[in-house]
Amino acid sequence: MLTSTIKLRTHLSLKPNHILSHFTHKRSNHDTINQTATLIKHPNWDQNNHLKSLVSHMSPESACKVISLHSHNIQLCLRFFKWVCKHSTYCYNIDGRIHLLNLIMRSNLFGVLHKAIVVVLKDCSSTANEALRLIDVVDRMRDYGFGISYPCYSTLLMCLSKLQMGLSAFSVYKRMVKDGFVLGLIDYTRLVNALCKNGFVRGAETFVSRVVKLGYDIDVHIATSLVLGYCRIGDLKHAFQVFDVMSERDGCGVNEVTFTVLIHGLCETGRLTEAFQLKEQMVVNGCRPSTRTYTVLVKAVCEMGLTDKAMCLLDEMVKKGCEPNTHTFTILIDGLCREGKIEEANGMFRRMMKDGLTPNTVTFNALINGYCKQERVVSAFELLAMMEKRNSRPNIRTYNELIEGLCRIGKPYKAMMLLRKIVDNGLWPERLTYNILVDGFCRVGQLDMGFRLLKLVDSLNLVSDQFAYTTLIDRLSKEGKLDQANGLLGLMMKKGIHPDEVTLTALIDGYCKNGKIENAVMLLDTMVWSTNLTLTGPHIFNSLIDALSKDLKFGLANAMIGKMLKCCVTPSVVTYTILIDGFCQTGHIDRSLEVFELMKRCNCAPNVYTFTVLVNGFCQSGRFEDAVKLFKTMRDSGVSPNVITYTILIKAYVRSGNLEHAFEILNDMVKNKCQPNFETFSALLEGLILSKSVTEGSFTIFKEMGSTQVSEFLEKAKKHGVEVSGLYSFLIMGFYKVGRIMEGDELFQEMVKNGYFPDEFACSHIMEHLCKQGKYDDCVVWMKLMFDHELMPSFGSYCCVVHGFQKEGKIHELQDLMSDYLSKSGVEDRDGVSTYMDFLVNCDEDDECFELLKVVEKLGNQERPLI
């Protein structure tokens, strides 16, 4: 006893502050409960700021005790329950509310519990997962002995109907019957609706029959649900039959919802003309098209790429006094972004907010995706900042879009740093997130990071798929690391991930490109014949046929076509074109013509590449007349020559010393609205100056060219109708490339004097050349000139200038540059996006990325990692 007392005293003497704080906290919590219980007796207690402060961190246990103190006043308890769930950080989410319900049940406060369950069902069943959790809670309460009330069951049916959870609704119905409840018409209506939304129309009809037996009339709501059910299973014939019965004189009648359901059904099956006719029929029947009606049609036309028609629908609905909602605008924004009309999409977004509508996460994601696809990441991050400011919580798709956008502009390390942002926002990166990152690192040749990420996915117990493995196999194959690629294929199969056609194509193409055709054929035989891999396209065979043709093994190439047919794969226009090219490259032009005729007999129409390959074959063989004749045949057959076709002919004439004919081809090219490219101009310029062989892809000519020759080239090209801006841009880029900055500047001054200015592509390349030479001030001059002409430099060229100024310590110049860039990018919220700008333009922190990967890997087994 004495020993125990000494131990206790020693313990108390070692931790007096801990013991004191424990009792102080307990006392403080007791005071909070009593104060709260007293305050809620007063009138207008819910407006009391002191009370709001008291409950801001009130636990479910404390809230339950407050309710217990007023158990005799159920209405007051219910009011407090609703209020505390909105103001306490512990009771705000679904977990806190479920915990509070369980505490109320264990306290035997059943009068409050019946009503509180209904409140939670209405407030916390916005998703299927939430609804299933609440059903589980109700089931556990039944097991505990608590009798679920009719209002609770009825509310649950309503929630499940809204969430299109027909089977769950049917299960709730069976429990209601088992518990002895008699369903009312409203319950049967909700049950029928839930079943029909999932396409269980036969089951719904059974309940409709029961409704009739019980003496209820079939009203417009139940009948419309049946129309919906038939539309969901694509049975429009029966849907219209129900609609016709409803429309009869003694029928229940139809309303705008019935019409809208049918219109949606027609749109889903591609019958847009009938859908629009039905919209007009609505007016005849005295039904006014609703926002939902128009939104259904807007979505249908947007999915067909007809955004202009969608905009007309928007104007029509506004004129008729039907206000578009957030969903309508979101569909339009997404449709415009898909068509690359980002400015129109942004205008629609601004209009939406001006009309007082609040963009949701889906709206923001659609616009962010549009900006990222056009590599305008600054505007995308401005939207992220706007989301955060408006408390519109970004979801994992938001970050996936941003990660993909950064990978598009070659910044995968920046993209990976967003993992920190994802985790800090209570989210968890999904498999798609890592797939995007693996692809991003592979694009820039950072295979080590790709493998690290693949390893991380495995350690996090995320189920890997073919995408990440195929991406790495493809990159390894392209770099000639075929043993590693093959080993990765084996590892992939060992993990139970079956390679698909794309995986196999990547590896076989790698073998073919590296001259290991036997390995490629062996792999094909192993995978196709041994594993029964189904091939849907000719891509694998095309790679093999191409390699065999280039290796002059035409017999084996023909045998490969036999294998191809054995696999039930039809040779495509690419297959025939590869064979034609193979014969042309080896000088067997007549045999290539035989293949050309064969493909026409097989009803495989030659395309522009087929003709171009043959034209090139004739030119290589010195048969210019045949090349020109084929060129005319090509146009007569309705196939338009492309820039490659024209350039081949131009090069051929230049090589033969016939420069006039080369410029005549250029003239024809311009007349047919085919824009000459850098290679076209290079061939003509070298022909003009050297009158000898063309050095393909070389800038050597710009080192030797004089001002007289430049003037002569400009005059000749202008005479043949070439766009002057493109000519100047080509010449200026050439001079900058070889370091003749002064000549490039002089030519630029002449260009501006004549009323022209280079395009964004040329300007960005010029800036990058200047950056390589350390001429950052000159870059700023170019950038400001671009701004004056309403052009934007690429983000990559802008970052080059920023890094240059950072090296030189030019802070003020850097701030001015960023301000101008944000202004011209159309950024309105400068403060919101400024922190992201620092993140985007600063150099990559490789070490920080590695540390981040380690942290995520260590915390992989926790529910929610904190970084």
Q: Which of 197, 272, 252, 183 is nearest to 230 (CA)?
A: 197
AA letter at 8: L
pLDDT at 351: 94
Lowest mean pLDDT among 266-275, 437-446, 562-571: 562-571
**What CA–CA distance (Å, rounded) separates 400 from 588?**
51
**What CA–CA distance (Å, rounded) separates 404 from 416?**
10
Residues 112 and 155 in one domain: no
**What CA–CA distance (Å, rounded) separates 24 from 34?**
15
Report the largest interatomic distance among the alpha carbons of the chain, rounded to a whole angstrom: 118
If pLDDT is split at 50, 70 and 90, which confidence band does 697 have? Answer: very low
Query: 711 lies in a domain?
Result: no
Report CA dihedral (239, 244, 250, 252) to the nearest 10 degrees: 40
pLDDT at 298: 96
Query: In sequence order, what E strands does 565-631 have?
Result: none
Query: 525 lies in a domain?
Result: no
* Sign of the four-CA dihedral 77, 81, 82, 88: positive
pLDDT at 743: 87
Query: 740 lies in a domain?
Result: no
Residues 6+ apart with CB under 8 A from 384: 364, 368, 394, 398, 402, 836
Q: Which of 410, 408, 427, 409 is nearest to 419 (CA)?
A: 427
Summarize the confidence of residues 266-286 as an average pLDDT: 92
Query: 4 lies in a domain?
Result: yes
**What CA–CA distance (Å, rounded) separates 190 from 173?**
10
If pLDDT is split at 50, 70 and 90, which confidence band does 696 have? Answer: very low
**What CA–CA distance (Å, rounded) separates 38 from 76?**
12
Q: Is residue 407 predicted with pLDDT exceeding 90?
A: yes
Query: Is 456 within 8 Å of 485 (Cβ atoms)?
Result: no
Tokens encoding 506: 């990547």
If pLDDT is split at 50, 70 and 90, which confidence band does 260 have? Answer: very high
Q: What is the DSSP string of 634-651?
A: HHHTTPPP-HHHHHHHHH
pLDDT at 353: 92
Residues 168 and 58 in one domain: no
Residues 123 and 35 in one domain: yes
Residues 200 and 92 in one domain: no
Residues 159 and 112 in one domain: no
Q: Could you count the other beta carbons within 10 Å of the beta carbon of residue 365?
A: 24
Summarize the confidence of residues 784-806 as an average pLDDT: 87
Residues 47 and 108 in one domain: yes
Q: Could you count the other beta carbons within 10 Å of the beta carbon of residue 461?
A: 8
Token look-up 């290079």 returns: 682
pLDDT at 739: 84
Q: Which of 623, 625, 621 is nearest to 633 (CA)?
A: 625
φ, ψ (nearest 5 deg) of residue 785: -65, -40
Q: Which of 543, 545, 483 is nearest to 509 (CA)?
A: 543
Residues 6+ apart with CB under 8 A from 266: 236, 272, 274, 275, 278
Q: How far is CA 335 from CA 272, 367, 396, 511, in A?
A: 17, 10, 21, 41
Lowest mean pLDDT among 270-279, 456-465, 737-746, 794-803: 456-465
In the chain, what are the helix, strand and coil shares in percent, each to the nearest 5? 75, 0, 25
Summarize the confidence of residues 311-336 as an average pLDDT: 95
Residues 111 and 33 in one domain: yes
pLDDT at 578: 93
Q: Is residue 9 predicted with pLDDT exceeding 50?
A: no
Q: Which of 216, 239, 256 is the last residue of a domain?
A: 216
Burial of residue 297 (CB within 10 Å: 0-12, 13-18, 19+) is buried
Which three-class secondary structure state does DSSP give residue 73?
Answer: coil
Lowest mean pLDDT among 294-303, 524-533, 766-775, 830-839: 524-533
pLDDT in tens, 507-544: 999 999 999 999 999 988 888 766 677 788 899 999 99
**The model's pTM:** 0.79
Q: What is the 3-state secondary structure (H, E, C) of 238-257?
A: HHHHHHHHHHCCCCCCCCHH
Query: 392 lies in a domain?
Result: no
Residues 138 and 124 in one domain: yes
Q: Is residue 831 predicted with pLDDT exceeding 90?
A: no
Query: Is 305 within 8 Å of 339 (Cβ atoms)?
Result: yes
**What CA–CA distance (Å, rounded) separates 320 from 289?**
9
Summarize the confidence of residues 697-713 as an average pLDDT: 76
* Sign of the four-CA dihedral 275, 277, 278, 280: positive
AA letter at 718: K
Q: Which of 216, 232, 262 is the last residue of a domain?
A: 216
Residues 21 and 64 in one domain: yes
**What CA–CA distance (Å, rounded) separates 802 from 780?**
10
If pLDDT is split at 50, 70 and 90, which confidence band does 788 have? Answer: confident
Q: Is residue 442 predicted with pLDDT exceeding 80?
A: yes
Residues 6+ apart with CB under 8 A from 443: 407, 410, 412
Q: Which of 106, 131, 146 is the last residue of a domain?
A: 146
The total of structural domains in the chain comes to: 2
**What CA–CA distance (Å, rounded) separates 834 from 398?**
19
Query: 474 lies in a domain?
Result: no
pLDDT in tens, 61-74: 999 999 999 999 99
If pLDDT is split at 50, 70 and 90, which confidence band does 699 have? Answer: low
AA letter at 674: C
Burial 76-103 (b: 16+ CB within 10 A, else e): bbbebbbbbbebbebbeebebbbbbbbb
Give ∠ CA 521-526-528 in degrees, rounded to 5.
90
Query: Is 575 within 8 Å of 561 (Cβ atoms)?
Result: yes
Query: 560 lies in a domain?
Result: no
Query: 240 lies in a domain?
Result: no
Query: Is 684 within 8 Å of 666 (Cβ atoms)?
Result: yes
Residues 189 and 88 in one domain: no
End-to-end CA distance of the chain, in Å?
Answer: 49
Residues 132 and 186 in one domain: no
Residues 140 and 33 in one domain: yes
Domain membership of residue 36 as a residue range: 1-146
